[in-house]
Structure 1
Amino acid sequence: MRYFLRGKGAGLALVTTILLHTATADPKANLPSHNARNLDGGIQLARSPPPAPSQSSVAASDAFEWGAIGDSWTSGVAYSAATVYSYTDLEYCYRTNQAWGARMEATTGWTVGSQKFHFAGCGGTLMNDIKRQMGKTGNSQLVIGTLGGNNGFFGDIARACIYQPDPGPWGPTYDEDPNGEGQCKKNLAKSREYIQLANGGLRDQFKSTLDDIFAFKQTNGQRVPRFDIYVSSYVQFFDATTDPCDEWTFGRWFSVAYPKLVKPLRAEMNELVQMFNDVQADVIKNYPKNLAYDYNVHYIPISDEFQGHRFCEANHSENDQWTSSDVWIWNLQWNDGDTGGKTQPSGAPNGPLPIMSLDTQNRTSLDNQLFTGSDVKALQSGFGWTARPFHPKPLGYQHMSDYFIQKLKDDKVPGVAGANAASPTTKGLPAKTTQSSPPTKAPAYATGSCCFHVDEYQNCNPMTNNLYANITLVDNNKNIIYQTPQKSLADGHLGDPINDGDHMTIQGPLPSPIAVTGEHENDYIQFSYGSLSWTSRDSRCSNGGWNPRDGPVCRGGRGFRPQSAENQIDCCFPC
Structure 2
Amino acid sequence: MKFGFAMRLAAVFTFVLSSGLVLSRTVEQYHLVAPDTQQVISNGGASTHHRRPLPAHLAHPEGSGFQTGFVAFGDSYSAGIGTGFNGKEDDCRRGLGAHGELIRADLAASQGGPNSTAFQFLSCTGATTQEVLSGGPDSQMDAFNTSLPVDFALLSVGGNDLGFFDVMNSCVFRFYNFYSGTCEAALARSQAQIEGDEFAQGLQVAVTEILDAARWEKRPWFRVTVTGYARFFNDATDACDDMSFGVWWNGPRLKKDLRSRMNAMVLTVNAKIRRTVDEINARFTRDKLVFVDYDEGFDGHRFCEEGVSEPDYGRADTWFFLVGAQDNARNGTQSNHASDLETLSPTSVLIDPSFCLEPAQRSGDWGELALCYMAMAKARDPSLQLARGDFVAENSMWYVPTYYGKTFHPRSLGHETIRDKIYEVWRGLE
Q: Is the 8 A contact 2:97 2:412 kept in 1?
A: yes
Greater strand share, structure number:
1
Q: Which amino acid aligns with 1:138?
A: N
User: Aligned partners of 2:198 and 2:249: how far apart in 1?
Assistant: 32
| Structure-to-structure mapping, 1:80-479, within 5 angstroms | 83-84=84-85, 92-108=91-107, 114-131=116-133, 132-139=139-146, 140-166=150-176, 168-170=178-180, 182-197=181-196, 200-218=197-215, 224-252=219-247, 255=248, 257-289=250-282, 296-320=288-312, 322-333=313-324, 354=351, 355=356, 357-359=360-362, 382-412=400-430
Q: Which amino acid aligns with 1:233?
A: G
User: Aligned partners of 1:283 and 1:110: how far apart in 2?
Assistant: 34
Residues 302 and 77 (structure 1 numbering): CA distance in 2 closer, same or farther, change over 3 Å?
Answer: same
Tell me how far 1:334 sits from its aligned partner: 6.8
Normalised by the length of structure 2, the TM-score is: 0.63
Q: Is the 8 A contact 2:281 2:287 kept in 1?
A: no
Residues 295 and 55 (structure 1 numbering): CA distance in 2 closer, same or farther, change over 3 Å?
Answer: farther
Tell me how far 1:125 sits from its aligned partner: 0.7
Normalised by the length of structure 1, the TM-score is: 0.48
Query: Which of 1 and 2 has greater Rg?
Result: 1
Tell me how far 1:291 sits from its aligned partner: 5.0
Q: Is the 8 A contact 1:233 1:277 kept in 2?
A: yes
User: Aligned partners of 1:94 and 1:335: how far apart in 2?
Assistant: 15
User: Aligned partners of 2:190 and 2:363: how far apart in 1?
Assistant: 22
Give the SS at the match of 1:149: coil
Q: Is the 8 A contact 1:110 1:405 kept in 2?
A: no
Q: Is the 8 A contact 1:164 1:256 kept in 2?
A: no
Tell me how far 1:137 sits from its aligned partner: 4.1
Bigger relative contact order, structure 1 or 2 (CA pairs below 8 A, ≥6 apart): 2
Q: Which amino acid aligns with 2:192?
A: E
User: Aligned partners of 2:74 and 2:125: how far apart in 1?
Assistant: 8
Residues 235 and 71 (structure 1 numbering): CA distance in 2 closer, same or farther, change over 3 Å?
Answer: same
Give the SS at the match of 2:123: coil
Residues 300 and 110 (structure 1 numbering): CA distance in 2 closer, same or farther, change over 3 Å?
Answer: farther
Q: Is the 8 A contact 1:119 1:137 kept in 2?
A: no
Identity of aligned residues (%): 23
Tell me how far 1:360 sits from its aligned partner: 5.7
Residues 167 and 271 (structure 1 numbering): CA distance in 2 closer, same or farther, change over 3 Å?
Answer: closer
Tell me how far 1:194 sits from its aligned partner: 0.9
Q: Which amino acid aligns with 2:236?
A: T
Q: Is the 8 A contact 1:77 1:96 kept in 2?
A: yes
Give the SS at the match of 2:101: helix
Residues 409 and 334 (structure 1 numbering): CA distance in 2 closer, same or farther, change over 3 Å?
Answer: closer
